[in-house]
Amino acid sequence: MAKIWYLGHSCFQLEIDGVKIVVDPFITGNPLVKDITLTDIEADLILVTHSHGDHILDLMELAKNTNAQIISNFEITTWVENQGYSNVRPMNIGGNYSTKGIDFKVVVANHSSSFPDGTYGGNPVGFIISGKSDCLYYAGDTGLTLDMKLIKDDFDLTGAFLPIGDNFTMGYEDAAKAATFCGAKTVIGMHYDTFGYIEIDHNAAKEAFEKRKVTLLLPSINEKLDL
């Protein structure tokens, strides 16, 4: 069973087999986050899906606080190394990596990836994260893509983290379809409500998933749950 701590927007701390993994750290710039202190967040590993500000704002500070290994695409880990932080694992789409007993696979995300100053951030990615009894798909920012059907061939997902906020990513209707593509029966929604463009109707979102017999979880910011 994975322990999930929702840190707002698309940022989570996942604890799998005792390993703490933080994904897409964006906390101090989130207008909806009130009561989370960056220095309270522990991490053994940090995953970064792409270089947009709402996914990397707190990356360097969190890394320096925790000395966690940063796993991301080559362009992002190079950017990190250029700032003097060397505990990184550069990867790209299709790649597999195992560390601390957890297996990671990098998968396609259909989006863009530039740093806040406009420099190139490589291709956006998603991750499949497999522990002893957990298998999670963290989609990152993406639209619906047929690539998601490939996941079901090789992985028996225990949960999926999917963007549902529309506008910059898929909305909840497409995300519900994505859940059937990848075979997830339980989805944690992310990338919604943080900014005006991505505010959604929570009940309508849950209904869209129910129609496909998928459970949509929408934890409150700072909520912890078991998945």
- Provide the binding-site residues for Ni ion, judged by CB under 5 A: 52, 141
Sequence-ordered list of residues with C-beta below 8 angstroms from that of 114, at least 6 positions apart, any chain: 51, 52, 120, 121
State the binding partner of 24 from Ni ion, Mn ion, none, CB within 5 to 8 A by kind: none
Q: Nearest distance from residue 83's CB to Mn ion, in Å?
A: 21
Q: Nearest distance from residue 52's CB to Mn ion, in Å?
A: 5
Calpha distance 55→51 (Å, rounded)? 6
Region near Mn ion per CB under 5 A, out of 80-88, 123-131, 136-144, 174-182: 136-144
141 binds Mn ion (CB under 5 A): yes
State the binding partner of 105 from Mn ion, Ni ion, none, CB within 5 to 8 A by kind: none
Q: Nearest distance from residue 152's CB to Mn ion, in Å?
A: 25
54 binds Mn ion (CB under 5 A): yes
Closer CB to Mn ion, residue 29 or residue 101? Answer: 29
Residue 37 tokens, joined:
């202190």
174 binds Mn ion (CB under 5 A): no
Q: Nearest distance from residue 55's CB to Mn ion, in Å?
A: 6
Q: Which residue in 220, 221, 142 sits closest to 182, CA to CA? A: 142
75 binds Mn ion (CB under 5 A): no
State the binding partner of 15 from Ni ion, Mn ion, none, CB within 5 to 8 A by kind: none
Q: Nearest distance from residue 152's CB to Ni ion, in Å?
A: 25
Strands 88-91 and 125-130: unpaired
Q: CA 157, 161, 162 angle in degrees (round to 5)? A: 115
Contact 178, 170 (CB under 8 A): yes
Output Rg (C-alpha) for the chain, integer angstroms.
16
Sequence-ordered list of residues with C-beta below 8 angstroms from that of 192, at least 6 positions apart, any chain: 163, 164, 165, 166, 198, 199, 200, 205
Please give the residue ranges that form the binding site for Mn ion (CB under 5 A): 52, 54, 141
